[in-house]
Amino acid sequence: MAYQMVTINVADHFRLDHLIGSLVPGRMADILIIPAMDEFLPKLVMCDGKIIYRDGRSTVEPEKIFFPNSMFDTVKIHDNFLRGEALAQPARALAKEGKVRVMELVTWLVTQEKLIDLGIPAESEDVIPILAVDRLGRRKAFMGLLKGFGLQKGAYGSTMCWDTTDMIVVGCDTQSMETVIERLKEIRGGGVYAAEDEVVAEFPAPLCGMVSLKSIEVVREGIRQVEECLRKNGVTWEKPMLTVDTLGTPAIPHLKITHEGYVRLRDQKILPLEA
């Protein structure tokens, strides 16, 4: 059933089953051979009828890939906007009186809308600012509040966020958040953890601010170092980088954040911080 789901079912859904998805005369000869149904260890791979992998070895050289310079220039946040407006918001957010709207983590991926009173210490426990900034230079940002992430020190920011062009930064203080944003601009995207003016760990992803061009081994180690720093500073979720990366996606319920405000997925309504 799993093999069917990723072959003929997908081809049929996208109306490509006359080209791919099954081993039938006339179809494209893209074939993967495994020893047995319960042993997914590819022994041979064909593409367009040519063997490109056999018994653990590639038989062809990978094609060279070219990316235009514009794809490495996608983190465009103006300094005067950053200092004059975007980072003036965290203090205002936490200084508000009465009830405010927060994004609360139910699991490491699922969020919910919650109203809290910042004047009641028990309700405002484990609440930190979360900033969504449009990183394409359109000078738009929204500061909300995140509850349940667990971060006790510093700030973490990412441009690898799902389904959005926003840079999302969570932090315990404005200086750390500014350091994160400045460093993300310098490395042209990725993930950065900083404490005050010190960059502690980073994961560069300069291609569209989303993708690293390093080997999978280097990528794995970079992610491990950043997530280890987050755990040392209070975050207990399984994959804290992914938690931040999904705070803007409409693919996972229930409350999300964009540079325009919170978005309640149930009715697609844009909501302010004020309750």
Residue span of the structural domain in which 12 resides: 2-58
In degrees rounded to 5, what are phi and psi of residue 200? Answer: -90, -40
In a domain, 173, yes or no: yes
Asked if residue 44 and residue 91 are part of one domain, the reply reads no
Asked if residue 108 and residue 130 are part of one domain, the reply reads yes
Asked if residue 50 and residue 148 are part of one domain, the reply reads no
In a domain, 64, yes or no: no
Residue after which a domain boundary falls, among 58, 81, 106: 58
Asked if residue 52 and residue 80 are part of one domain, the reply reads no
In a domain, 213, yes or no: yes
In a domain, 63, yes or no: no
Asked if residue 40 and residue 137 are part of one domain, the reply reads no
In a domain, 66, yes or no: no
Q: Give the Cα separation of 140 and 76 in Å (integer).
A: 11
In a domain, 65, yes or no: no
pTM for the predicted model, two decimal places: 0.82
Asked if residue 191 and residue 132 are part of one domain, the reply reads yes
Asked if residue 141 and residue 171 are part of one domain, the reply reads yes
How many domains, the chain?
2
Asked if residue 79 and residue 36 are part of one domain, the reply reads no
In a domain, 239, yes or no: yes
Asked if residue 95 and residue 20 are part of one domain, the reply reads no
Tell me, what's the pLDDT at 48?
Answer: 86
Asked if residue 123 and residue 12 are part of one domain, the reply reads no
Asked if residue 150 and residue 39 are part of one domain, the reply reads no
- What are the pLDDT tens digits along the chain (275 aa)? 999 999 999 999 999 999 999 999 999 989 999 999 899 999 999 998 899 999 999 999 988 889 999 999 999 988 766 665 666 655 566 666 688 999 999 999 999 999 999 888 899 899 999 999 999 988 889 999 999 999 999 999 999 999 999 999 999 998 999 999 999 999 999 999 999 999 999 999 999 999 999 999 999 999 999 999 999 999 999 999 999 999 999 999 999 999 999 999 999 999 999 88
Tell me, what's the pLDDT at 74?
Answer: 96
Q: Give the Cα separation of 125 and 257 in Å (integer).
A: 20
Tell me, what's the pLDDT at 275?
Answer: 83
Q: Are 230 and 214 in contact (CB under 8 A)?
A: no
Residue after which a domain boundary falls, among 58, 80, 96: 58
Asked if residue 245 and residue 126 are part of one domain, the reply reads yes
